[in-house]
Amino acid sequence: MTTRPTLPNPVDSVALASLDTPDGWLEYPLGKDVIEGNPDTRMKLLRTVGVKTPYKAVAFFTSQPSKFDWRFDNDEAFVLIEGHIAITLDTGERFEMKAGDAVSVPAGHTGVCEVLEFSRKFTVVTSG
């Protein structure tokens, strides 16, 4: 996976972003993690560090239909805002999600993410 971009947000600043505006979107290339399809994954990053959390990525993500490997290097929780995805973890557990569903995955897992239709999510990744 490609190195995640960082922003120089002051730790105690308020971050505001809209899913529906074109400004602030960054490419999030998955490189060799792509199994099939062209995910054209993009992110709009709101925060990279928290007041009490050394690493805290808060972002919107979008992806086109595709299939790719994913590593949960840190605790990750997200809400699927639009679309349909399935995640199969290294434990064999499979989670199929549609708009309005949320999941929280503890650090240390790997898995395969299948984007079954164009999807948008709001995610928070933390380590402490």
Question: Do 5 and 11 touch, CB atoms closer than 8 A?
Answer: no
Question: Do 81 and 19 touch, CB atoms closer than 8 A?
Answer: yes
**CA atoms of 126 and 4, how far apart (whole Å):** 14
Give the residue ranges of the chain where pLDDT is below 50.
Answer: 1-6, 8
- CA 70 from centre of chain: 10
pLDDT of residue 2: 43
Which of 28, 102, 109 shows the shortest CA–CA distance to 64? 28
pTM value?
Answer: 0.84
CATH class label, 26-127: mainly beta
**CA atoms of 74 and 97, how far apart (whole Å):** 21
pLDDT of residue 78: 97
Q: Given the structure tokens 């897992």, which residue do they identify? A: 109
